[in-house]
A and B are shown apart, each in its own frame.
Chain A
């Protein structure tokens, strides 16, 4: 579904991604871990088309299409979704109105007619139930006055409503207490299917206990230096990132250990 080859990207003239490679197939959940400054958020920003990020080399194909050539809204319409690390507030725009607009934009892109109000409401209730999402939050302005946890949960709720092919979760666990973490994870797990894929960006192994990944990659200094399965996450938890920093010095030519 997603094929990233030798991706290099800079922000404000500074190169952050230095030749990143990643393959994500439908039905898979990939976790990306790494120390601060490794480029995790940069990866998310580059994939979603945020301004100020300049791609200097490499490519990213999404369902065979050149993802980096598309505008941010077209990437979203193609089925790429980002659960933001710091979701912004947009006062005065109701959650419901916003979701309906987004949904219909995506449908229009695919040549489908607008969703009827009745159908939309049905979908809304269905997903609220699925994610144990408080209906009251849906009626409020987009993220306005939401607590950190509520904002993160709202991101997952939007994910459920928009049903993307590829969902990138950017440190969704940061700022969540244990209960919220469990609820969010339950939700994400319910959304997993053979047709979609997830890239979960996180610092900590804890989230990965609830959302069990198929693959774990470690991003360090702009490259994926090690890949493995969920055991790798446990190893990192135990040993910290220094262990890999030692390792990477020997793999400067970026040999990637592909998952078995």
Chain B
């Protein structure tokens, strides 16, 4: 119908809000990827020998691996030899107090809306701001330290808590897992490290901000979160990136470990630069995220709102090893213009009485292609396992696509696996109904989409939920149809 096309507005009116760069001297590794690159990075970060060896082992494995071919999109050609794998601001990497931080850096963070000031601290959110490949400042260190909570940059954790890092690093995502995990293990730069001691309920949401800045650097952050027995932590991850023409690779690895009766809640709101309306530029977000419910009665939940990146490729997963453990995955993935998303989750039921819940809401607009890929695997010993999966797709306009690839593998007779799926379109009738109540079409779409995504947005911590709602509305501007 011509009306769909009539209502479609020119999309380039909404400028990517966060598109700016900071003029700070960058310390760049020489271009290219080889064993020397790995050594360079390790040396820059002053790492102990065991970690360098760990990296090299991963790198050597990486060299033998092949790029995957099963994804539901065309893999862009990636010339790893033409990018630099390490970018750190030239100033000192560790800051004991905010006074030492480069003022231009602080201004950058202010622009991004994360002022590292006392006022922000009073708001109750501890922020570990990662500026490109190096953690710049960590707030709240003192307060959390009192409770025994460790929340610092990964680099710092290697120096101060090497035993903890060594104990858990790579236990959930080994370097052999996939080619991007191998790459990450070899050249990861920084990320967050969190350790919650026994019985401690972390009193505030922990948050990290990422930014890809220097031209031609990929970002390979590594995050490790360990929740010891009876503990709880809620972690937020939000990303922005400046406007660039060259595609940039973002191959992070996140490992979560929940011990007995522990709970980890991991929330992500992602709006990396998605490329222009013709699909040029944009971030490649190829992330490996996995959690293991090691202890009995433990719980891990992943919540993600993905609106950015040219290609989003990630399957935050949970290994349900402990008896009575629970894994959850809540996702809203929006693709418009020429964006692609191939995302979903994997739930491995191994222990007894394990539960998993998957709610995936895909939204496709413009020429976006959205794929849900999910695996529910019930092991032979996973008695009384329960899974509920709801996988919904919403199409806006008639040029986009939604695809689902649900896999269920059950080796246990007592398991109960439920799968529901819906595909819907925003009807003209719905928009007209809202028009007739005084609401214009763009607001109408935002209202409808928010209603559609509500079940997932409700999972986010409140501040994030509000940001996510606004993000969905802004991302859909110009896609009404």
Contact = CB atoms under 8 A, between A and B. Distances in A.
B172 to A, nearest CB: 34
Given A51-B428, A90-B430, A141 B451 contact: yes
A101 interface: yes
A100 to B, nearest CB: 11
B439 A101 contact: yes
A140 to B, nearest CB: 12
Contacts of A51: 3, 428, 432
B433 A87 contact: yes
B435 A71 contact: yes
Nearest to B449: A92
B305 to A, nearest CB: 15
Interface stretch (B121-129, B271-279, B440-448): B440-448
Interface string B399-431: 000000000000000000000000000011110
Contacts of B9: none
Nearest to A141: B451
B433 A90 contact: yes
A239 to B, nearest CB: 35
B436 A162 contact: no
Contact of A105 (B439, B451, B452): B439
A50 B437 contact: no
A93 B438 contact: no
Interface stretch (A57-65, A76-84, A178-186): A76-84
Interface in B38-75: none
Contacts of B234: none
Contact of A72 (B427, B436, B447, B453): B436
B90 interface: no
Contacts of A101: 439, 443, 447
Interface string A84-101: 100110111110011001
A97 to B, nearest CB: 8
B454 interface: yes
Q: How would you classify the secondary structure of chain B's contact residues: helix, strand, loop or mixed?
A: helix
A109 B451 contact: no
A84 B440 contact: no
Given A84-B433, A88-B427, A90-B430, A76 B438 contact: yes
Contacts of A93: 447-448, 450-451
Interface string A155-170: 0001000100000000
Instruction: Using C-beta atoms within 8 Å of the partner chain, give the interface range for chain A.
Output: 20 to 34
Given A50-B432, A51-B432, A102 B438 contact: yes
Interface residues of B, number: 24
A52 interface: yes
A71 B434 CA distance: 12
A66 interface: no
A84 B435 CA distance: 13
Contacts, number: 76
Interface in B122-181: none
A48 interface: yes
A109 B455 CA distance: 32
A84 B455 CA distance: 28
Contact of B451 (A88, A91, A158, A162): A91
Given A84-B433, A88-B433, A105 B438 contact: yes
Contacts of B447: 90, 93, 97-98, 101
Given A52-B3, A101-B443, A72 B435 contact: yes
A218 B199 CA distance: 77
Nearest to A102: B437
A93 B440 CA distance: 16
A73 interface: yes
Contact of B438 (A92, A106, A141, A142): A106
B62 to A, nearest CB: 44
Contacts of B453: 92
A87 B432 CA distance: 11
Nearest to B426: A90
A102 to B, nearest CB: 4
Interface in B1-56: 3
Contact of B439 (A50, A94, A102, A141): A102
Contacts of B433: 84, 87-88, 90
Contacts of A88: 427, 429-430, 433
A205 to B, nearest CB: 27
Nearest to B447: A93
Nearest to A107: B438
B435 A76 contact: yes
30 contacts: A49-B435, A52-B3, A71-B435, A72-B432, A72-B436, A73-B440, A75-B436, A77-B438, A84-B436, A88-B427, A88-B429, A88-B430, A90-B433, A90-B434, A90-B447, A90-B451, A91-B452, A92-B454, A92-B455, A93-B451, A98-B434, A98-B437, A101-B447, A102-B437, A102-B439, A105-B438, A105-B443, A109-B438, A141-B451, A162-B437
Interface of A: 48-52, 71-73, 75-77, 81-82, 84, 87-88, 90-94, 97-98, 101-102, 105-106, 109, 141-142, 158, 162
Given A92-B454, A105-B438, 11 more contacts: A51-B432, A71-B440, A76-B435, A81-B436, A88-B433, A90-B430, A92-B448, A101-B443, A102-B437, A102-B439, A105-B437
Q: Which 7 residue pairs of A and B lie closest in terms of their CB atoms, listed nearest first?
A: A92-B451, A93-B451, A72-B435, A102-B437, A76-B438, A105-B438, A106-B438
